[in-house]
């Protein structure tokens, strides 16, 4: 079917790109509820046009989840997991009136959300449309579960899985992302890290005081000392018991990450502006640290006067956002208890801690049939081996689908600049990603 696939894509590519641009122009973030509902409606119509039965799964406290399904000639079913909201956690959206700017030039599609996650979402719809047009039926049953988040880890998905067990049942889950690496090799993530996100606060005074009152306690220093107690300069987290649940990587895991790690070097440093990776590591050594080591990150600090010029004050309070990124098999609720106990034990009982969010880590065995189907499909589509990552570097709710296997496949590449003003995907990657999804479904049927 290869020649027929290429011919179909050539005939319909211009239409697909116009539709993708239309989808990406919708500023679908929680701050624009009309755009969120418009994106859900757009997906409904497009899924139905592709030949699936689609409907909205409402949620009283969130935006509707888009659901669609179609049976295949083999009883096995793959569920596509995606989201139609735009990740805007790092940089806010900049709109042109009521829409987002989208530009197609130089073999790339530029627009916020095109890499995370609208380009990936639409590639799967296009792949299913193509298979139905060419064969009249799908090799395996497919389901789409496309939801709109209010924040990185809201509870909408939990409610959907609990309220719609039949709709969300499947044999495997094809996850939303899987970027090509810095050597342009296709990759797939087989799991995800977990995380615990907390806010720490110290309060010392009723109001800010003049800095000449040096006999008064300074909440900013108090908070900094508490933060400094969490981690050594060698990147080792100092919390008792923090590493007790960490699953040691097997030989296959190490080999897979080492293979991915050969792409870690100057390209990433130049792209991010960093002088070096932590601890001076690079290549496979950096990759092992990245994928298999849990971490502690200060995401933000607020205290005192930070405006222009001088204002000589002792802050009345200070706060910090702190993230603990977890690996298999760490327990997020246990980590919360460990952090609290650590602060208390080191004289920071007065430091307030609010847990803002958490997820658990999850990992899929590389021997699973869905993983093997993806590996065979990659050889057909890309002409090379799929670089497997035992886990992704990011957190996600993959664990909520346990014990089903999850495989992350996408259309972005290492330079797609997710959440940046110049977020983009390459057209060739999108075409290959669409063909990859079609090939995975065919291989999964076997």
pLDDT tens sequence across 34-61: 999 999 999 999 999 999 999 999 988 8
> Alpha-carbon distance 227 to 195, whole Å?
17
In the predicted model, is pLDDT for residue 78 greater than 90? yes
Q: What is 383-434 written as a DSSP string?
A: SS--EEESS-SSB-GGGGGTTS-EEE--S-BTTS-TTSTT-EEEHHHHHHHH
The confidence band for 394, taking pLDDT boundaries of 50, 70 and 90, is confident
Average pLDDT over residues 383-388: 94
Closest listed residue to residue 199, CA positions, set 271, 280, 302:
302
Peptide bond into 403 cis (omega under 30): yes
For a pLDDT cut of 70, what percent of the chain falls above it?
99
In the predicted model, is pLDDT for residue 138 greater than 90? yes
> Alpha-carbon distance 145 to 47, whole Å?
11
> Alpha-carbon distance 119 to 23, whole Å?
9
pLDDT tens sequence across 243-261: 998 988 888 889 988 988 8
pLDDT tens sequence across 92-106: 899 999 999 999 999
Sorted by where each begins, the domain ranges of the chain are 2-192+362-445, 194-246+294-359
Question: At 124, which helix (H) or strand (E)?
Answer: helix 119-135
In the predicted model, is pLDDT for residue 1 greater than 60? no
Packing angle between helix 2-24 and helix 33-50, nearest 10 degrees?
A: 160
In the predicted model, is pLDDT for residue 390 greater than 90? no
pLDDT at 391: 84
In the predicted model, is pLDDT for residue 240 greater than 60? yes
pLDDT tens sequence across 286-324: 999 999 999 999 999 999 999 999 999 999 999 999 999
Determine contact, residues 144/80, Cβ cutoff 8 Å. Answer: yes
Closest listed residue to residue 120, CA positions, set 407, 442, 373:
407
Give the Å distances, CA to CA, from 189 to 72, 143, 382, 394: 25, 20, 17, 10
Q: Thinking of the domain 2-192+362-445, which architecture would CATH place it in?
A: 3-Layer(aba) Sandwich (3.40)
The confidence band for 267, taking pLDDT boundaries of 50, 70 and 90, is confident
In the predicted model, is pLDDT for residue 264 greater than 90? no
More confident residue, 338 or 255: 338
Q: What is the dihedral of CA 148, 153, 156, 162, to 10 degrees?
A: 130
Determine contact, residues 270/414, Cβ cutoff 8 Å. Answer: no
Query: Residue 72 has which token pair?
Result: 């295949």
Average pLDDT over residues 212-222: 95
pLDDT at 403: 93
Question: At 345, which helix (H) or strand (E)?
Answer: helix 332-345
Question: Which pTM value belongs to this model?
Answer: 0.84
By DSSP bridging, strand 424-426 and strand 108-110 are antiparallel
> Alpha-carbon distance 163 to 400, whole Å?
14
In the predicted model, is pLDDT for residue 153 greater than 80? no
What CATH topology corresponds to 194-246+294-359? Alpha-Beta Plaits (3.30.70)
Query: Residue 380 has which token pair?
Result: 């057909």
> Alpha-carbon distance 21 to 15, whole Å?
10
Alpha carbons within 13 angstroms on the beta-carbon side of residue 156 total 21
Closest listed residue to residue 204, CA positions, set 322, 355, 351:
351
Determine contact, residues 338/229, Cβ cutoff 8 Å. Answer: no
φ/ψ (deg, to 5) at 376: -65, -40
> What count of other Cβ atoms lies within 10 Å of the Cβ of residue 441?
25
> Alpha-carbon distance 207 to 317, whole Å?
8
DSSP 373: H
pLDDT tens sequence across 168-203: 999 999 999 889 998 899 999 998 999 999 999 999
């Amino acid at each position: 079917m290869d020649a027929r696939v290429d011919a179909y894509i050539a005939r319909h590519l211009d239409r697909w790109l116009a539709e993708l641009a239309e989808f990406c122009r919708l500023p679908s973030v929680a701050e624009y509820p009309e755009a969120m509902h418009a994106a859900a409606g757009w997906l409904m119509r497009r899924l139905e046009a592709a030949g699936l039965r689609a409907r909205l799964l409402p949620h009283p406290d969130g935006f509707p989840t888009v659901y669609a399904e179609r049976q295949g000639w083999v009883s096995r079913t793959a569920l596509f997991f995606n989201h139609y909201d735009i990740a805007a956690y790092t940089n806010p959206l900049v709109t042109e009136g009521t829409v987002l700017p989208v530009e197609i030039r130089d073999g790339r599609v530029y627009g916020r959300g095109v890499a995370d996650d609208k380009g990936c979402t639409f590639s799967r719809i296009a792949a299913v449309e193509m298979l139905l047009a060419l064969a009249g039926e799908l090799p395996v049953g497919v389901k789409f579960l496309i939801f709109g988040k209010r924040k990185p880890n809201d509870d909408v998905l939990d409610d959907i899985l609990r309220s719609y067990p039949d709709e969300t049942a499947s044999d495997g889950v094809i996850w939303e992302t899987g970027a090509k690496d810095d050597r342009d090799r296709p990759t797939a993530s087989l799991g995800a890290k977990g995380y615990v996100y907390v806010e720490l606060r110290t309060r010392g005074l009723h109001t800010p005081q003049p800095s000449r009152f040096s006999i008064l306690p300074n909440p900013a220093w108090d908070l900094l000392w508490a933060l400094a107690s969490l981690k050594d300069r060698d990147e080792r987290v100092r919390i008792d018991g923090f590493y007790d649940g960490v699953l040691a990587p097997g030989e296959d895991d190490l080999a897979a990450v080492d293979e991915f790690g050969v792409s870690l070097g100057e390209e990433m440093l130049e792209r991010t502006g960093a002088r070096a990776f932590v601890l001076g590591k690079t290549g496979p050594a950096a990759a092992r640290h990245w994928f298999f080591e849990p971490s502690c990150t200060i995401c933000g600090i607020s205290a005192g006067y930070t405006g222009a010029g001088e204002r000589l004050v002792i802050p009345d309070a200070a706060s910090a956002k702190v993230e603990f990124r977890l690996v298999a098999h760490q327990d997020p609720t246990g980590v919360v208890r460990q952090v609290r106990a650590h602060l208390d034990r080191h004289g920071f009982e007065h430091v307030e801690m609010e847990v803002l969010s958490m997820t658990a880590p999850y990992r899929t065995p590389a021997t699973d049939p869905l993983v093997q189907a993806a590996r065979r499909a990659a050889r057909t589509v890309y002409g090379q081996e799929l670089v497997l990552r035992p886990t992704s570097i990011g957190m996600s709710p993959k664990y909520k689908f346990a014990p089903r296997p999850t495989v992350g496949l996408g259309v972005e590449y290492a330079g797609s600049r997710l959440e940046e003003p110049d977020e983009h995907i390459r057209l060739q990657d999108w075409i290959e990603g669409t063909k990859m999804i079609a090939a995975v479904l065919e291989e999964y049927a076997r």
